[in-house]
Amino acid sequence: MTTHQETHHDTVPAATDPATPASGRVTVIGTGYLGATHAACLAELGYDVLGLDTDPAKVADLAAGRLPFYEPGLAELVERHTASGRLAFTTDPREAAEFADLHFVCVGTPQRRDSMAADTSHVTAAVSGLVPHLRRDALLVGKSTVPVGTAAALALHARSVAPDGVEVAVAWNPEFLREGRAVEDTLRPDRIVVGVTDPLHEKVLRELYAPVVDVGVPFVVTDLATSELVKVAANAFLATKISFANAIAELCDAAGADVVALTDAIGRDARIGHQFLSAGLGFGGGCLPKDIRALMARAGELGVDEALTFLREVDAINMRRRSRTVALAVEECGGSVLGRRVAVLGAAFKPGTDDVRDSPALNVAAQLQLQGAHVRVHDPRATATAARTFPTLGYADTVEDAVTGSDLVLHLTEWDEYRALDPAALQPARRVVIDGRNALDAERWAAAGWRVCGLGRPAVGAGVGPAAVSR
């Protein structure tokens, strides 16, 4: 891990002859959600792109124009540009080093197994793998979400492994794309942020992103450390906003109030806004949970952990949503889920993706199964990825398969198709649904004879009595 001092610009080598996209060629190192999207979108913008990954199976799929995961609109771009010849993939770093002088680093930075910090070893490995093969000066542009100070340390590392006479510089260009909207967020972002140590690098990136920036997207130029922090601060703010809504939901439960009406009312204040204010089962995925933890860990390393201790509460509120949902399921099954048939609608961490990393829905499904419930999970896209992570859960191909004969239905990922269900047509053993996303039309379900329990709002429908109100 680097020290804060290492972020000073004078420790960072400047490229004498920076890479230029004038050649129209770039590489993208790491072809997961971020890298594959970035590579395909750059090809869509007209560049020749080579994606580099260490995973031969992933590279074989992508090179054949197949996307190894679900992301709306991306498969079409990958197919189109592998066919047009603008997008290719390799596992060979020598090929990447030869191909271009501008290299984007898009590898993952998961949470370390032994701490809350981010594991930046893939970022270091990406640089160690590429740079010794460079024969010309190059600019590495990091897009991965990293602890502040990583970019400066990486610049020193790159210089130490570069061949004699080859200058390698580092810039940072954090990514803000959301899974499920990755293509749209990349081609039409709210802003582009670049952290640079040399005005020439700014020029290179401005030129590269000209097709995006020219239609009015703000281009924010800053130093390396600030650009790294912009990204994690944005995710921490979003996580905090969600947990704020969920903290108020706990209060609403205790007071018999309705958090959906409440957040609708406060969100109308333009200073607050409705986005990321939906109370329910809370946040999951590969980013928000690990990013707030990594930010706390980095603040600790920098001696300012007090500044971010509130993020512990943000995390704790979020994790309580899962136990609250399990407790509600137990309560609705009369004190135990042992032997109960439970249908879980949703496995992805949010709609629009097949990603189940830290999925609140799967976490709840697994907890119920551990308590003896017979759980059947349905998801329009994510049952294959879910089954790889939780192979012992039951999976259903259709909503009807999951729900028919069940004692309890849990709605845990708000796919449109669940909202569009006809509650009257479903055939459970008992018409009780826990809406973990407060997204179903409760009145419509109640009218079809269901008891509907939300999170942070009173239950409605059949069987609502004093017990439900006092909950």
Known catalytic residues are 287
Q: In angstroms, rounded to a whole number, what is the distance separating the alpha carbons of residues 243 and 373?
A: 28
Q: Is 278 in the site for ligand UGA (CB under 6 A)?
A: yes
Q: Quick one: which segment of 98-106, 111-119, 120-128, 271-279 binds ligand UGA (CB under 6 A)?
A: 271-279
Q: Quick one: which segment of 133-141, 175-183, 335-343, 457-465 binds ligand UGA (CB under 6 A)?
A: 175-183
- Residue 287 Cβ vs ligand UGA, minimum distance, rounded to whole Å: 3
Q: In angstroms, rounded to a whole number, what is the distance separating the alpha carbons of residues 103 and 154?
A: 14
- Residue 55 Cβ vs ligand UGA, minimum distance, rounded to whole Å: 19
- Residue 297 Cβ vs ligand UGA, minimum distance, rounded to whole Å: 16
What is the separation of C-alpha 343 from the centre of its chain, rounded to a whole number of angstroms?
25
Q: Quick one: which segment of 99-107, 173-181, 250-258, 371-379 binds ligand UGA (CB under 6 A)?
A: 173-181
The residue within the footprint of ligand UGA, chosen from 37, 90, 144, 145 (CB under 6 A), is 145
Q: Which is nearer to ligand UGA, 150 or 197 (CB)?
A: 150
Cβ burial 309-320 (10 Å sphere, 16+ → b, else e): eebeebbebbeb
Q: Quick one: which segment of 70-78, 201-209, 217-225, 287-295 binds ligand UGA (CB under 6 A)?
A: 287-295
Q: Is 172 in the site for ligand UGA (CB under 6 A)?
A: no
Binding mask 314-353 for ligand UGA (x = CB under 6 A): -----------------------------------xx---
Cα–Cα nearest to 70, from 315, 356, 373, 279: 356
Q: Is 179 in the site for ligand UGA (CB under 6 A)?
A: yes
- Residue 316 Cβ vs ligand UGA, minimum distance, rounded to whole Å: 15
Q: Quick one: which segment of 103-111, 171-179, 209-217, 425-433 binds ligand UGA (CB under 6 A)?
A: 171-179
Using left for φ > 0, alpha for ψ between -120 and 50, and beta otherwise, residue 216 falls in left
Q: Which is nearer to ligand UGA, 239 or 337 (CB)?
A: 239
Q: Is 259 in the site for ligand UGA (CB under 6 A)?
A: no
Size of the site for ligand UGA (CB under 6 A): 22
Give the pair of three-digit tokens for residue 110.
């998961």
Strand order in the sheet with 138-142: 87-90, 48-52, 25-29, 102-105, 138-142, 168-172, 192-195, 219-222
The alpha helices in 273-424, defined as continuous H runs, are: 288-301, 310-332, 360-370, 383-389, 399-403, 416-419
Q: Which residues contact 128 (CB under 8 A, 6 or more apart)?
A: 157, 161
Phi, psi for residue 220 in degrees, rounded to 5: -100, 120
Q: Quick one: which segment of 61-69, 130-138, 273-281, 369-377 binds ligand UGA (CB under 6 A)?
A: 273-281
Q: Which is nearer to ligand UGA, 44 or 355 (CB)?
A: 355
Q: Is 129 in the site for ligand UGA (CB under 6 A)?
A: no
CB 141 within 8 A of CB 205: yes
| Site residues (CB under 6 A) for ligand UGA, limited to 192-251 | 235, 238, 242
Cα–Cα nearest to 206, from 335, 32, 18: 18
Q: Is 280 in the site for ligand UGA (CB under 6 A)?
A: yes
- Residue 69 Cβ vs ligand UGA, minimum distance, rounded to whole Å: 13
Q: Which is nearer to ligand UGA, 90 or 144 (CB)?
A: 144
- Residue 285 Cβ vs ligand UGA, minimum distance, rounded to whole Å: 4
The residue within the footprint of ligand UGA, chosen from 287, 294, 356, 365 (CB under 6 A), is 287
Cα–Cα nearest to 67, from 40, 46, 49, 96: 40
- Residue 175 Cβ vs ligand UGA, minimum distance, rounded to whole Å: 6
Q: Which is nearer to ligand UGA, 90 or 240 (CB)?
A: 240
Binding mask 429-458 for ligand UGA (x = CB under 6 A): ------------------------------
CA atoms within 13 A of residue 114's CA, in its CB half-sphere:
0
Q: What is the DSSP string of 265-293?
A: HHHTSTTT-STT---SS---SSSHHHHHH
CB 241 within 8 A of CB 277: yes
- What is the SS3 assignment for 468? helix
The residue within the footprint of ligand UGA, chosen from 94, 133, 178, 444 (CB under 6 A), is 178
What is the separation of C-alpha 244 from the centre of its chain, rounded to a whole number of angstroms?
19
The alpha helices in 162-285, defined as continuous H runs, are: 182-187, 199-208, 210-213, 224-255, 259-267
Task: List, as own/partner pairs, every contact residues 206-214 make where C-beta atoms lie below 8 angstroms and the sequence separation is at least 24, other chains included.
Answer: 207/20, 207/21, 207/22, 208/21, 208/26, 208/47, 208/102, 211/45, 211/46, 212/45, 212/187, 212/188
- Residue 347 Cβ vs ligand UGA, minimum distance, rounded to whole Å: 12
- Residue 178 Cβ vs ligand UGA, minimum distance, rounded to whole Å: 4
Q: Is 142 in the site for ligand UGA (CB under 6 A)?
A: no
Q: In angstroms, rounded to a whole number, what is the distance separating the alpha carbons of residues 386 and 247?
A: 28
Interface ranges with ligand UGA (CB under 6 A): 145, 175-179, 235, 238, 242, 276-278, 280, 282-285, 287-288, 291, 349-350
